[in-house]
Structure 1
C-alpha cells in the first residue's frame, strides 16, 4: 500500500511551481524544492519562518491584517482567486509572481496552501514586445514627419537658391546663404530620421566587415581625444555579410563618439568583430531576430554605463542624457534603424560604473544547408563532459539561471544555484564537493561575480571557475574586470559552453 505522506512529499517535489503550506498565523509548515529555489533559500531555513520573509516590506506589513480579516469574516480576497503579486528573494531582489491560495480545514485547524508561479520571464517578454511595438510606432510616425518635412525643405532650399542667383546685394546674399545652410542642416536631420524609420535607400553590398571597421578606426584615432585609447580586436576568419559600407562606418563612428562622451575622465574604446550563431535559447530572450549565423560588430567602452531605465529608451529618437544643446539624441536611433533595415539586430549590454557594449548583428552570407550541417555537428560533439561533477551556478536573472542549469545538466553535471555573489560564497564556505563555479560577472549585492572569483582564487584555489558576461572580449581582457579569469561571452551556444567548460576542467 502506498504511503500517503510519502506520496504527498513526492508530489510536492515533482511540481514545477513553488508550493508553500502555512498555518493560520503564516508559519511555514512545508514547502517544496521549487519554492526554496525560487526565493533563494534552503528548505530548512524557510521551514518554521513566517511567510512574510518572502514578501516586500509593504506587502509583508499588510499580510497579517488580511489574514486576520479573512479568519474573522470569511471574506475571500485572494483565496481561491489567482492574483499577481511581488515576492522577495534572499538577496533582497523583488520579482513578479502569480499567487493562488487555497484553504484547508483539518480537525479544527486551518492551513493555507499557496502555489506561486514566477512571472519574471513573461513580464520581460511583455516589456520586450511593448518596446518593439513602441519603436515601430515611433518609426512610422517619425518617417511620416520626416518625409513631409523633406518636401517642405525642398521647396525652401530651391527657392533660396533661385533667390541667391538673382540677388545682387551683398547683405541679402549673406542672409540667403545663412538660410540655405540652416535648411541643409534641417535636411540632414530629416535624413537621419528616415534612417531610424528604415525608409532611407541603402546601398547594400557584400562587404568585408574588417576592412570597413579598419577604415572607421583610422578616422577615430584622428578624432577621439588623447585621453581615450581606441583599439580593435578583429576576427581573422570573419564571414561575409551584406550592408551599406558608408552607413556601417557612420554607425561605428556614432557609437564611438557616444562612448567618448561616457568617459569624460578617459578610458578605452574597443571595436570587435566576431562570427556568432544565435540559437533558440537566445531567441527566447530577444525579440525581432531570427536564428542563424551572424557577423557581430561590437563597440565597447569602459565608461559610466547605463541604468536599466536609460537602456530601455536609448534607441528612441531625441532621447539623450547629454546637457541641452550638446546632443540631438539621434545617433543611436540612426544606428538602430540602419541595422534593422539591413536585416540585423542591435543589443545593448551595460552596467552602471562598468561600461557599455553595443553589438550590431548582420546576417552572414552562408548557405542554409551548411548552417544546418554545422549545427548537427555541434550537437554530436557535445559529450557528457560533466561526469556527475557538481557545479555552482551564480546568476541573478532567473531566465538565464534556468537556462544555464538545464544546459549544465545536459552535459552530465549536477547543479546547485545562487542568485548573488554573497549567497554563492555562503554555499562555498560550507561545501567541499563543488568542482566548478559558473558565474555572471556583474551581480547584485556587495560581492560582484568578479569579487567572488577573486575570493575563490584566494581561499579555494582547487575550485575551477568560468565567468560569463555581455561585455565585449576586448574590454574584458584589457580592462579592469575579470581579465585574469576564463570568460564566456554572451550570447553563447551549447557548443561554446561545452568547449569553455572542457578547457577550464582540463586546466586542472
Structure 2
C-alpha cells in the first residue's frame, strides 16, 4: 500500500500539472470560440478527456489513502440526502432508489466530498449489477461492536460507528469475485466499460478515515456493501451542512502568484486577470520575496505551489508574512505529500485548491 501510495503521489504531482495546462487552456479557448464553430466541439472533447484523466488520478490517490482532505463534522443523513438527486441521475429511471435514514444518527468526521465519492461509486456498481428494472437501497444507522462480537466476525473492530449501507437486487457475486473486489483495476465489466477503480477507491477512503467495510453477496441474490465510519464524540462542535452556492463576483484585489511551471504560471495569470484581479507573478520563491519587498501597495492574497525547488510554499508564506502580516494564502498542488497535510488531512487553517482546477 505504501509503495502504491508513493507511485500515486509521483504520478499525481507531475500528471496533474500537465492536466492543469490542458484543462486551463481548453477553457480559455472555449471562452474565445463561437459555440457554433466546428472547433468548439473538439475543444469540448479535449476538456472532457482531461477531466476524466484527472478523475483517474484522484481515484489512485484515494485507493492509496493519499487524498488531500479537509474533514468536517457531519450528519451523514444530511450529506446523503443532498446527493440523492445526483445519484438518481447516475442510476437511471428504470432503477428505484430507496432511502432509509437512521434515527438519532451519530456524527462522523470526514471530508464531505469523500461521502460523495463513496455514494457515487457504490451506486454505479449497484446499477451495473442490475439487468433491467431493480432497486437500490441506501441506509444509515448507528452500530456498536464489542470485543466478543468482533472475535466471532472477521473484519470487525470494537467501537461505536455510523453505518452507510448500499444494497441492490442485482446479479450478485460469488466468493471468488468477492475476494478480489477491492483490488485496483479488477473489474467484472466488459473491456472498456470500467476502470476497476470504483471499489478500490471506496476501500482507500474508508481506511483513510479509520473505518472498515464489508461485502455481503450471493449469485442471483444481490449485494450489500456496509461501511462503518467511527463515531465522532465531541458533539458540542458545530455541524457542517455545506456552504451555500454564491454567484461569481469580479475581483479587484492584488494577488501574488508563485508557480515554478511557466506554462501554468502564464495560464493562471490570464485566468485571474480575466476575473479582474491585479496579478504579480513569480516563478521562484526568491523572486516572489524580491517582488514583495519592492511592491509599494498592499498584496491581498498569495497563491503558491506547495512543492518548489529551494523553498516550499509554507516556507515562502512565513517569509512573506513578515512583509505583509495580513496576507491571505491559498496553496495549490497536484499532490501535497506531507508538506501542508499529514496522512492526507490538511493542517488546521490551511486553504488548498487541488490541481487541476
**Same fold at TM > 0.5:** yes
Q: Which residue of 1 aligns with 2:320?
A: none
Distance 2:94 2:25 in 1: 47
Specify every segment of 5 or more residues in structure 2 that has no aligned partner in the other structure, as ranges: 235-357
288, 295, 302: which one pairs with 2:162? 295
Q: Which residue of 2 aligns with 1:146?
A: 8
Q: Which residue of 1 aligns with 2:95?
A: 228
Do the aligned residues in 2 keep the contact of 1:274 with 1:295 (CA within 8 Å)? yes
The structure with the largest alpha-carbon Rg is 1
Distance 1:207 1:171 in 2: 46
Specify every segment of 5 or more residues in structure 1 that has no aligned partner in the other structure, as ranges: 1-138, 368-508
Higher share in helix: 1
Change (3 A) 1:209 1:329: same
**SS of residue paired to 2:195:** coil
* Cα deviation 1:401-453 (Å, max 9, x = unaligned): xxxxxxxxxxxxxxxxxxxxxxxxxxxxxxxxxxxxxxxxxxxxxxxxxxxxx
Cα deviation for residue 358 of structure 1 reads 0.2
**SS of residue paired to 1:284:** helix
74, 78, 83: which one pairs with 1:211? 78
Q: Which residue of 1 aligns with 2:189?
A: 322
Do the aligned residues in 2 keep the contact of 1:204 with 1:245 (CA within 8 Å)? yes
Cα deviation for residue 162 of structure 1 reads 9.0
Change (3 A) 1:140 1:265: same
48, 52, 58: which one pairs with 1:185? 52
**SS of residue paired to 1:189:** helix
- What pairs with 1:444-455 in structure 2 (closer than 5 Å)? none
- What pairs with 1:146-165 in structure 2 (closer than 5 Å)? 146-157=8-19, 160=22
Change (3 A) 1:286 1:329: farther
Distance 1:219 1:293 in 2: 30
Using the size of structure 2 for normalisation, the TM-score is 0.57
Using the size of structure 1 for normalisation, the TM-score is 0.41
* Cα deviation 1:153-198 (Å, max 9, x = unaligned): 24534665798789x9999999787656544432221111101100
Greater RCO (CA < 8 Å, at least 6 residues apart): 2
How many residues are treated as equivalent by the alignment?
228
In the alignment, structure 1 residue 336 sits paired with structure 2 residue 203: yes
Q: Which residue of 1 aligns with 2:129?
A: 262
164, 171, 179: which one pairs with 1:304? 171
Do the aligned residues in 2 keep the contact of 1:347 with 1:359 (CA within 8 Å)? yes
Please give the root-mean-square deviation of Cα atoms over the aligned residues, in Å. 3.0
Distance 2:135 2:45 in 1: 39
Distance 2:24 2:128 in 1: 41
**SS of residue paired to 1:326:** coil
